Amino acid sequence: MDESPQTPAGIEGSALKGPFAVGAYAEMLREELRGRARLQLFGEIWTLRRSKARVYFELRDARGAVPCAMWTDKFEALGEVGSALSDGAQIVVAGGPDYYPGSKTSSPSFSFDVSDLRIAGEGDLLAQLAALRRQLQGEGLFEPQKLLARPQLPRTIGVITSETGKARDDILAGLERRGWAGKLVWGFAPVQDRQAASAITQALTDLAGTPQVETIIVARGGGSLADLFAFCDETLCRTVAMLRVPVIASVGHHTDQTLIDDVAAESCSTPTHAAEAAVPLDINGERAALRASTGALSRNAGVAVVGRARALAALARVPGTHIARQRRELHQDARELRAAGQRRLLLERERSATAAEVLRRKAVAGAGPDKLARLRTLEGLSIALSAHDPKGVLERGYAIVDDGDGNVITTAAQARAAEDLRLQFADDAVDAKITGSDD
C-alpha cells in the first residue's frame, strides 16, 4: 500500500503500520471481500426496500444478520416470487460479500451481493402463501367482507381488471345476462406485473371512496399461481378486508386460490360469474315477479270489496228468501190439507151413501110382504082416531063447556058452582053465565 506524500505522522508509540490513505484501504477491503468464497445463505428477509438500481433487505436469524443488496434487473427477473416476499419470509440467497468503498461525498457500505434468491422456509411459494393465509385468518380478516350487506340491485358497480383482457368482455356478458344496464366504473389496472398489487390497491381504495359505487368486482382471467401472486399481496388483501364496499373476486383457479379470494365478500371462478354475483337478481325475472305481485294485489283488493259486497247482498236476501220459502211451504201445506179434506169428504160421502143404501135395502128387506097389511091397519086406525077427534064432534053440533080457565065442566053441578062458563063451539068460544037453577 502506497503512502501518500501528504501522509501525516503516525501515532506515537504505536506498533501498527501506517497510517495509510482510507480510500486505498477501502478499495483493498472491497477486493478482499470480493475474493472470499461465494456461497448460499438462508434466513428471514426483513426491511425490503427498493431504489432505482438496487433492492435492499436484511437477512436475519437468531444469531445475527447480514445486509443484502440485489441489482434491480436481477430482482425483476425473479418474477412474481419477488411479489411474495414479505417480512419474516424464509429465503435462500446466493452471492458473496461486497463492499462499497464510498467516496469523499458518499458513505461506504457493506452488503452481501445477492445474485439469486428463492423462497425457502416450508419449501416454496405455496407454503409461503399458506403462512400468510394463516396469519390473515388468525387476525379475523376473512370475515369483515362477508358480513357486509350485499345490494341485490346495485345501481353503480366498480370493476378492476385489465383494460385489454378478456375479463372485461366476460363481465359485460354476465351483466347483460342479468338484464342489468346501470352505471359501470372501470378501474383499469395491470393485473400481473410487479406494480399490479399496488395499482389494484389504489384502484380499490379510489372506487370504495366513490359514494355511488355499491359493489366492486376484481377480475382476472386466470393464470399460473406465480402470475396470480399480485392478488396475494398482503397490503392488497388487508385493504380489501377493511373496505366497507363488498368486493367480489374472480382472479384465481379452482385449485390455486389467491388470498384476495379469501378476504373478499365472495370468490367466483369466472368473471362472468362475478358479474352475476354482483347483480344477484335477474332484472327481467324481477319485472315478471313485480307484475305478478301487482296482479295479486288487485285480485285481493277485488275479492275484498266485491266478494264482501256479494256476501252482504246474499245476507240481505236471506230474510226475503226465508219468508218466501215459508210461504211456499204454507201454501203447499194448505193445498195438501184441502186435498186431504176433500178426499175425506168424498170418502165419507161415499161411505154414507153406501150406508144409506144398505139401510134402505135393509128397510125394504125388513118391510117385506107385511107392508101392505100394515098400511091398511094404519089407515083403519087413522079413521078411528078421526072419529074421536073433538073437533069433529063440535062440527056435528056439540060444544065443550069449561070454567074459563080450561077446566072442563062435565056436570050440571059443576056448572052451577062455576057460575061463569065458556062454551067452545067448532068455530069459536062464547062466555056464558048461569042465571037460574032447575032446583
Partner 1 sequence: MTEPEQSYELATARLEEIIRRLDSGEAGLRETLDLVKEGRTLVEYCAGELEAVSQGLDEIKLDELIARLEAQSPEGE
Nearer to partner 1, 220 or 422 (CB): 220
Verify binding: residue 181, partner 1, rule CB under 8 A.
yes
Verify binding: residue 23, partner 1, rule CB under 8 A.
no
Verify binding: residue 180, partner 1, rule CB under 8 A.
yes
Minimum gap (Å) between residue 277 Cβ and partner 1: 15
Where do we find the cell 506524500? 5
Q: Which of 126, 186, 403, 426 is the binder for partner 1 (CB under 8 A)?
A: 186
Residues ≥6 apart with Cβ < 8 Å to 377: none
Verify binding: residue 287, partner 1, rule CB under 8 A.
yes
Q: Kindly identify the residues of this chain, within the stretch 203-242, that bind partner 1 according to CB under 8 A.
A: 203, 206-207, 210
93, 47 contact by CB (below 8 A): no
Nearer to partner 1, 309 or 412 (CB): 309
| 108 closest CA partner among 24, 51, 1, 26 | 26
Nearer to partner 1, 178 or 422 (CB): 178
CA separation (Å) from 25 to 4, 100, 226, 269? Answer: 12, 12, 45, 61
- Cα separation, 260 vs 189, whole angstroms: 16
DSSP string, 337-370: HHHHHHHHHHHHHHHHHHHHHHHHHHHHHHHGGG
The region of 17-25, 125-133, 185-193, 358-366 touching partner 1 under the rule CB under 8 A is 185-193
Nearer to partner 1, 23 or 182 (CB): 182
Q: Which of 96, 101, 121, 182 is the binder for partner 1 (CB under 8 A)?
A: 182
- Cα separation, 157 vs 232, whole angstroms: 23
C-alpha cell at 280: 344477484
Nearer to partner 1, 183 or 317 (CB): 183
- Cα separation, 416 vs 436, whole angstroms: 9
The region of 95-103, 177-185, 398-406, 415-423 touching partner 1 under the rule CB under 8 A is 177-185
C-alpha cell at 216: 366492486
Minimum gap (Å) between residue 211 Cβ and partner 1: 9
Residues ≥6 apart with Cβ < 8 Å to 288: none
- Other beta carbons less than 10 A from residue 175's beta carbon: 22
| 398 closest CA partner among 408, 406, 383, 407 | 408
DSSP string, 186-207: EEE--SSSTTHHHHHHHHHHHH
The region of 86-94, 117-125, 202-210, 315-323 touching partner 1 under the rule CB under 8 A is 202-210
Residue type, position 321, single letter: T
- Cα separation, 335 vs 320, whole angstroms: 22
C-alpha cell at 174: 354476465
The region of 81-89, 98-106, 179-187, 373-381 touching partner 1 under the rule CB under 8 A is 179-187
The region of 52-60, 275-283, 341-349, 426-434 touching partner 1 under the rule CB under 8 A is 275-283
Site string for partner 1, 137-176 (x = CB under 8 A): --------------xxxxx--x-------------x--x-
* Strand residue runs (E) in 73-127: 90-100, 109-119
Q: Kindly identify the residues of this chain, within the stretch 291-330, that bind partner 1 according to CB under 8 A.
A: 293-294, 296-297, 300-301, 304-305, 308
Nearer to partner 1, 142 or 180 (CB): 180
Minimum gap (Å) between residue 268 Cβ and partner 1: 20
- Cα separation, 388 vs 399, whole angstroms: 14
Nearer to partner 1, 190 or 222 (CB): 190
Minimum gap (Å) between residue 126 Cβ and partner 1: 33
55, 72 contact by CB (below 8 A): yes
Helix, strand or coil, per DSSP, at residue 431: strand
Minimum gap (Å) between residue 178 Cβ and partner 1: 9
Verify binding: residue 84, partner 1, rule CB under 8 A.
no
Nearer to partner 1, 216 or 230 (CB): 216
Q: Which residues bind partner 1 (CB under 8 A)?
A: 151-155, 158, 172, 175, 179-188, 203, 206-207, 210, 279, 281, 283, 286-287, 289-290, 293-294, 296-297, 300-301, 304-305, 308
